[in-house]
Structure 1
Amino acid sequence: MERATEWPFSPRCGLVALWMAGALLSTPGSVSLERLVQVAVERGYTAQGEMFSVADMAKLAQETLGCQAELLCGGLGGPNRDRVLQHLISGHPLLIPYDEDFNHEPCQKKGHKAHWAVSAGVLMGVQRVPSPGYIEDSELPGLFHPVPDACHQPPSFPEESSPGAVFLLSKQGKSWHYQLWDYSQVRDSNLQLTDFSPARATDGRVYVVPAGGVQAGLCGQALLLRPQKWSH
């Protein structure tokens, strides 16, 4: 298997995240990272691997991975929050653009550190034991997992104003390890992607940025990925 850590300083972070999401989707066959880059360049989505458009990422995912790709607009909060949490509980990956801090976690740099991550799960603090369809962890009492392919009702989600109650299990292309990120930090970072990095603007490279810039292509947007034959 190719390792995402082979490209720590390249602009391919979005395509690396999509490649990792493809493995989580369990789609037939495997698509290499180089193939994703090739198709993205051929379609005009990127010049060298950068992705500044969630809409283009959706089209690329559908073509190369043969999956469903739902573009989520309006941020990760409000009415979208329950949709995102239920999507992750169902076992499907989420692609999120955000600003990356020195430790890879979300921060707020107005898009100057725009990066991509894939979320593969969610950790939530709930008041009651979940309804049927969940099983308690064999090693950690009080931790419950959804039973794969079983009918289960979603738990009662914590209020959006509850600090530290929801965490996303996330990974990005500069590290091979998952991290737990506070949902509100991810939401806030995703919602303030407005500007193209001055450092990138003067580095002598060519980038593909959509009409309307970073704000139009990334701000408040994410991608819900599902297997092609999945039905709600």
Structure 2
Amino acid sequence: MISLGCWLLTFELKGAAFRLVSSGLTSDCCSALSSVLSANQNLTHLYLRGNALGDMGVKLLCKGLLHPNCKLQMLELDNCSLTSHCCWDLSRLLTSSQSLRQLNLDSNDLGDLGVMLFCEVLKQQGCLLRSLQLCKMYFNHDTICALEALQEEKPELTIVFERAQPVMEARCQNPLLCGPTTRCRRREPTTRAGVRGGARLQEAPRRWAGGQGTEATHAARVSLEDVFL
């Protein structure tokens, strides 16, 4: 059963922008939100950061977002307990929505497969998104290369993400975590990898603890269709 607070959303969401940041919302509220999105043509900005909507919640939201009456331009889903399982629904939204221009997915666990799916979808001409935020998530080498290639192919699209996950130096000093035959790595993070104007993304340096070297990442190739279909 939908809570009274969720039911009241249908009456409160009247303006062009609405903030429901850290409001204790769950997937149970998303049916009500979806109804608002499909009925309210004035709503253009929706901030849902810090709510545990989950993948099922996003699936319900996308039903309203895909409605022809929905004119939403900016959607913030920062820290909403999302995983790669919601990426198929979001991908359909990206290729179908004629109004959505900004999508914030910071601080979620989308994984490499989810982001690789985004990269394929965002290449399509029908995708009109102009800003995608993927901060506070870490990706393997192949995913980073795919994001770089997408940025170069579509300079009008701004992608913001972090390039590398730092490893604590203390870990390398612990013999239980780092034996004599283990080559410990310390990768330096960047604050912003996506840039405007089509400029090439700059690669953060990677260093071995015992010297400099080039990192070779061998990720298992998994078919996106096997995961999402």
**TM-score scaled by length of structure 2:** 0.26
TM-score scaled by structure 1? 0.26
Q: Please identify which structure carries the higher strand content.
A: 1
The structure whose Rg is larger is: 2
**Higher RCO (CA < 8 A, seq sep 6+):** 1
